[in-house]
Structure 1
Amino acid sequence: MKNRLVLLTLAILTSLAGCQYSEFEENYTDPSKVSETSVEKQFTGFMIANREYVLPSYWNYFVVLRITLNRYTQAIGWVNEENQYVPGSAAINDRWNNYYQFLAQYRELEKVYADLSPQNKQDYRVFMITAATYLYDHTQKVIDLHGAIPFSEAGMLSTNGGDYTESYPSYDEPEAIYTKMLDDLAGFADELRTMEINPGVLTGFESQDLVNRGDIDMWLKYINSLRMRMLTRVSETPAFADRAASEINTILSNPANYPIVTTNDENITFRIHELGTLIAANSFQSGLEDWDGNVAGKALLEHMMNNEDPRLTYVFEPGEEAGGEFIPLDPLLSATEQTELIGSNTMAIYNRTTLSRNQYFPGMLINASQVHFMAAEHYLKAGQDAQAREHYETGIRESIHYYEMLRNMSNNLISPEPIPVTESAIDTYLADADISWAAATGEMDKMRLIAEQKWLHFNVVQPNENWAELRRVEMPDLVFWEDQSNQQSLPPNRWIYPGSEQTYNTENYQQVQPNDNLNRTLFWDN
């Protein structure tokens, strides 16, 4: 990683995107000129920096996800080919570079904040707590792709006065970064809850906050839900198991002090308020649909079909030549057969109205269903079956209504009208033998139910969470075509580092080089 500071200015971005967004009417100054910027403006510039990895975008879905995570989870169907389980350099490089541009923006925010007077630091503390929360959300994603990453010393080129020789960062072990993030988030949860915020500062925060519009209660739900996500991810590791069980229990047993996301109305997102702006999902269509990247995954589609899942017609639609039938693409067929089937336009695809052509599709950060499924897992492990079942079933209900909500907010009507959701249909689904909590026998069987529902819920909408959880719990059990022509015959356990690390950050890269292979498992992947 060539640790350079990428200076994002709203004036440049506006000229590229034709932005009319009211929050961005006042151009942001070059953040390298600290005297000309401010905490508020740098805060928003930092949030904008990684928007294409929050909002559904062409580059992320077509270049990155289409050939990596969406395949590794079988969320999609695709034509088998040699070398398909080796992540492409374009995917790895762009994801890596974007994160470090984003981190550099955060370091610039720290730099601006450090120059404030003690009183102003106290007044603007809310910006730093929420910025760190947002940073940690995305830092976890990058750790869960690679393992060890440069973090504590990364993004410091501007802070170091432009001296490259002082700015090549060492790698932090993933356990250490997780520990810091969990420690900080636990502190934020208490600090923000009891903080008295200057009314004038709060007004500025409300206008600059692209996630929760300055709603402190929503930020508290984001903080605690993110803590649960991180704690759940490391809950099976010896170093974190006790902490995870204890802290998740503290959060769930004390909602007054530690509120979490529990309904779709509380989902943490980048919301689309106005089309044609920087905050939009205008390229989701090409990102997901180009080169047949929206073909339904067979195992996922058949699970929905076989169990009469109420989400089926909201998440998928039949191929144009399928006569209304949902036909899946078998991942074990030959490439010739798969190509012919896809070319016939009979394969089921992801619902275009709900997802790819929905220009109001939000950038999803944390949602109610995933939080309920995490709570269900916690209570299951704690032997509290009734609570586990309650959260499991609530997670399913929220997921069904989530996809219903996404469909209803769409400004596109190309896909067939879905089957209306009724409470009776949901009750019938929950009572199905393959879905029913009561019919499951033993902890492992119930864990399988939770894992399958997370997988169904995440699909292509939350691919990072989908792949991380699939590796962590190793459920559902998916069967892949084996690439006998390549040493990497099946999906990897992690991504390798980009080639730029070997070229520019050579000395520090040598520390992690022995573990830099696709089959090395991450520390939480037992």
Structure 2
Amino acid sequence: MKNLLYICCSVLLLLFSCDTWDEDINIDKNVPNLRDENLSPSFFMGGMFNGAISINGDWDRSDNTFINAILPVTAYYGKTKSLSQGNRHRSWHDFDGHVWPHCYASIRNIKNVRNIALNRGDNRYVAVADIWESWMFYMLTTFYGDIPYSLVIADDVPLTGIDYDKQRDIYAAILTKLKAANDLLAEETENIDEASDWVYYGDITKWRKFSNTLRLRMALHMYNANPGEAKSIANEILNDPASYPVFESNEDNFQVNFDGASRTSLYYRYNPERIKQIALSQVFVERMASLKDPRLYRFATPVKKVHEESGYVVPQNPGEDKYLGHLYGITTSDGDAASWNGGWEYSSLLGPAFRPMDENLEALPAAATTPIKLATYSEMLFNLAEMAQRGIIGGDPAAYYEDAIRASFTEYGVLNGFAGRSEYDRAYADQGINSAEEYLEQPQVAFNGTRDKLLLINEQRWIAIFQLHFEPYFHYRRTMLPGILASDNASSFASTGSGKFFPSRASYPTSEAAENLKAYEKARAEGYDIAITGQDNRNLARMWLINNGSSPSLEMETFEEPMLAEDEYPGGANFQDWYSNTWTKSFWWENE
């Protein structure tokens, strides 16, 4: 951290001190002069967006956190290679070079946007920089816990002794900054530069909506830790929509967009071998199929092959296009994983909503513009449904819940994608349903039925926020719903911080131990409910958000892994028996 900050400060010092040098040698025409009155803050916005999500980075490296941990541990992806790490939690210490450094490296560009805007008296860019910075630090602190914040964002960044701020203080500061940013933009009438805004194409009203939608999300995340403040924030926003607008449709979704030319989507940069490694989880596929959900054919691809001989697991959906997931959380080696149930060709892969591809798994041109979604209208409505159900806000939780499902269907172009649409009929044949309203009336979906209301909300949100950055992990850790299971063999990796507990946090990168040891050690000793002493408890320590009596236990129920003995693995006659008798325990909706 200190090296990073030293570099940032040295660059800024160099830029600001050039006028003391000989004019012929100190001017680099390729480096912008931050004091140039003609320089727009929009010049640095690309770098601001780029740093936090590594838009131009090596996708095979920068996606490791997302692909190898977030999606497997929340049961979206199965195991064909390495993905057991997410479920047994080993990969939670392998984030060096990914989340932390990318985000902290982008701070200089955020400061440049803000400082130039302040010099020009342009509050529009000040507010946008504050909102993006707030989202980034919300993500970091919710992921790690206590982190460097106040000294890092200050104008005069110290070169040594970077203290960590408490998570409760960071949340309070971010919420204050978001509210102030909304108020600044409320006084403006002119949009910002369209070309440099990769999120909202210059629309400052949508930036306002996101600032308040993020405040609502944060209020929900902090409710168990500080119910009074969370309730006050949520009701302040919802009771005064003129002052605090929020998302009103999918047009307001907060996402980084790609033009498909100078900036291509991260999904486009997957190579076919990577695609084979991220088959969808059978829990995820089977839950959508069991609900006759039209998002199935958008989220997943049909399998390439179906087994005809006995002993293997075969798709159960009735249509001609067959969908089947892979096993998640299995603790075997990469080689073993590739053989489960015959391999990747018998599993559904990432679908056309994210990566349209040809028969050879090469991305089609449309994949180059797939956005990276960071907050959506449907997620906000599910959050409001939960808030209403828990009594945090007023309103009808059923209405929020049903509107959230409709919003998700609209988001993925399937609101009218039921019976009579070719993709739907190829998945469900004559056993499908006819409309979104019929979907909502199913006993497993109906809000006024017999199923637990919070389970319903969390189950449907779990489906809807597939690929929504880190939110699936944040929401699941907060609620532990629906009932995802862990492998019973995960406990054998307890010495590396694994086991049957859902991971409570991401570990600090090893660079912090090397460069910021004093603050790093203090945070590990005092920042959680237990002192972090080594690998065995680094993923058990509970941060402020979940260190309270209202938060659920992180201990997961387990399923029994199949044995590796001859004729039992990976596809012998006993494998089908194991699946029927053991794996189906993972289908919580069948075991309520």
Contact 1:82–1:483 under 8 Å retained in 2: no
Report the CA distance between 1:205 and its aligned residue. Answer: 3.4
2:204 aligned partner: 216
Contact 2:123–2:185 under 8 Å retained in 1: no
Q: Following the alignment from structure 1 to structure 2, what is the Cα–Cα distance between the partners of residues 507 and 522?
A: 19
Q: Following the alignment from structure 1 to structure 2, what is the Cα–Cα distance between the partners of residues 508 and 333?
A: 36
Report the CA distance between 1:254 and its aligned residue. Answer: 2.7
Identify which range, 78-87 or 445-454, moves more after superposition: 78-87
1:379 aligns with 2:383: no
2:327 aligned partner: 330
Q: Following the alignment from structure 1 to structure 2, what is the Cα–Cα distance between the partners of residues 454 and 56?
A: 30
Aligned CA distance change for structure 1 residues 146 and 386 (closer, same or farther; 3 Å): closer
1:506 aligned partner: 517
Task: Normalising by structure 2, report the TM-score.
Answer: 0.73
Q: How many residues align?
A: 476
Q: Secondary structure at the match of 2:481?
A: coil
Q: Secondary structure at the match of 1:149?
A: coil
Report the CA distance between 1:372 and its aligned residue. Answer: 0.5
Report the CA distance between 1:343 and its aligned residue. Answer: 1.9
Structure 2: where are the runs of 5+ without partners? 12-27, 307-319, 357-362, 526-530, 533-537, 552-592
2:229 aligned partner: 243
1:480 aligns with 2:486: yes
Instruction: Select the residue among 289, 293, 310 that pairs with 1:305.
Output: 289
The within-5 A match list for 1:217-366 is 217-237=205-225, 240-272=226-258, 274-278=259-263, 280-281=264-265, 283-284=267-268, 286=270, 290=274, 292-322=276-306, 324-331=321-328, 335=332, 336=336, 339-341=339-341, 343=343, 345-352=345-352, 354-355=354-355, 357=363, 358-366=367-375
Q: Secondary structure at the match of 1:324?
A: coil
Supply the AA of the counterpart residue of 1:267. Answer: N
Q: Following the alignment from structure 1 to structure 2, what is the Cα–Cα distance between the partners of residues 175 and 331?
A: 34
Contact 2:382–2:461 under 8 Å retained in 1: yes
Report the CA distance between 1:418 and its aligned residue. Answer: 4.9
The within-5 A match list for 1:181-192 is 181-192=174-185
Report the CA distance between 1:89 and its aligned residue. Answer: 5.3
Q: Following the alignment from structure 2 to structure 1, what is the Cα–Cα distance between the partners of residues 57 and 295?
A: 22
2:67 aligned partner: 66
Identify which range, 90-99 or 175-184, moves more after superposition: 90-99
Q: Following the alignment from structure 2 to structure 1, what is the Cα–Cα distance between the partners of residues 167 and 323?
A: 42
Report the CA distance between 1:354 and its aligned residue. Answer: 4.1
1:390 aligned partner: 399
Q: Secondary structure at the match of 2:78?
A: coil
Report the CA distance between 1:500 and its aligned residue. Answer: 0.8
1:519 aligned partner: 540
Report the CA distance between 1:35 and its aligned residue. Answer: 4.5
Aligned CA distance change for structure 1 residues 511 and 306 (closer, same or farther; 3 Å): same
Q: Secondary structure at the match of 2:242?
A: coil
Contact 1:321–1:344 under 8 Å retained in 2: no
Supply the AA of the counterpart residue of 2:252. Answer: E
Describe the superposition over 1:317-354 as per-residue Cα deviations: whole angstroms up to 9, x where unpaired: 22111373222223476744762325261112221464
Supply the AA of the counterpart residue of 2:228. Answer: D
Contact 2:52–2:106 under 8 Å retained in 1: yes
Aligned CA distance change for structure 1 residues 68 and 354 (closer, same or farther; 3 Å): closer
Report the CA distance between 1:285 and its aligned residue. Answer: 5.0
1:457 aligns with 2:468: no
Instruction: Select the residue among 440, 444, 457 that pairs with 1:430.
Output: 440
Contact 1:458–1:466 under 8 Å retained in 2: yes
The within-5 A match list for 1:152-231 is 152-154=150-152, 159=156, 166-193=159-186, 195-196=187-188, 202=191, 205-231=193-219
Identify which range, 355-364 or 486-495, moves more after superposition: 355-364
2:504 aligned partner: 493
Contact 1:43–1:127 under 8 Å retained in 2: no
Q: Following the alignment from structure 1 to structure 2, what is the Cα–Cα distance between the partners of residues 367 and 54?
A: 23
Aligned CA distance change for structure 1 residues 220 and 387 (closer, same or farther; 3 Å): same
Supply the AA of the counterpart residue of 2:371. Answer: P
1:15 aligned partner: none
Aligned CA distance change for structure 1 residues 312 and 235 (closer, same or farther; 3 Å): same
Aligned CA distance change for structure 1 residues 289 and 187 (closer, same or farther; 3 Å): farther
Contact 2:147–2:165 under 8 Å retained in 1: yes
Q: Secondary structure at the match of 2:539?
A: coil
Supply the AA of the counterpart residue of 2:479. Answer: V
Describe the superposition over 1:356-414 as per-residue Cα deviations: whole angstroms up to 9, x where unpaired: 64222112122110011111111112288862111100100111121227999xxxxxx
Q: Secondary structure at the match of 2:91?
A: coil
Aligned CA distance change for structure 1 residues 454 and 55 (closer, same or farther; 3 Å): farther
Supply the AA of the counterpart residue of 2:478. Answer: R
Give % identity. 19
Report the CA distance between 1:109 and its aligned residue. Answer: 3.6
Aligned CA distance change for structure 1 residues 266 and 48 (closer, same or farther; 3 Å): same
1:139 aligns with 2:149: no
Report the CA distance between 1:85 and its aligned residue. Answer: 1.4
Supply the AA of the counterpart residue of 1:318. Answer: P
Report the CA distance between 1:287 and its aligned residue. Answer: 6.5
Q: Secondary structure at the match of 1:518?
A: coil
By relative contact order (CA 8 Å, sep 6+), the higher-ranking structure is 1
Contact 1:224–1:258 under 8 Å retained in 2: yes
Contact 2:147–2:167 under 8 Å retained in 1: yes
Q: Following the alignment from structure 2 to structure 1, what is the Cα–Cα distance between the partners of residues 304 and 45?
A: 45
1:126 aligned partner: 124
Q: Following the alignment from structure 2 to structure 1, what is the Cα–Cα distance between the partners of residues 61 and 29?
A: 25
Task: Normalising by structure 1, report the TM-score.
Answer: 0.81
The structure number with the bigger radius of gyration is: 2
Q: Following the alignment from structure 1 to structure 2, what is the Cα–Cα distance between the partners of residues 166 and 71?
A: 38
Identify which range, 300-309 or 352-361, moves more after superposition: 352-361
Contact 2:301–2:323 under 8 Å retained in 1: yes
Supply the AA of the counterpart residue of 1:346. Answer: Y
Describe the superposition over 1:42-79 as per-residue Cα deviations: whole angstroms up to 9, x where unpaired: 34432333343699944333x22222111110110015
Contact 2:338–2:344 under 8 Å retained in 1: no
Instruction: Select the residue among 70, 73, 95 that pairs with 1:91.
Output: 95
Instruction: Select the residue among 48, 51, 68 that pairs with 1:49.
Output: 51
Structure 1: where are the runs of 5+ without partners? 10-26, 409-415
Q: Following the alignment from structure 1 to structure 2, what is the Cα–Cα distance between the partners of residues 339 and 113?
A: 56
Contact 1:294–1:350 under 8 Å retained in 2: yes
Identify which range, 472-481 or 322-331, moves more after superposition: 322-331
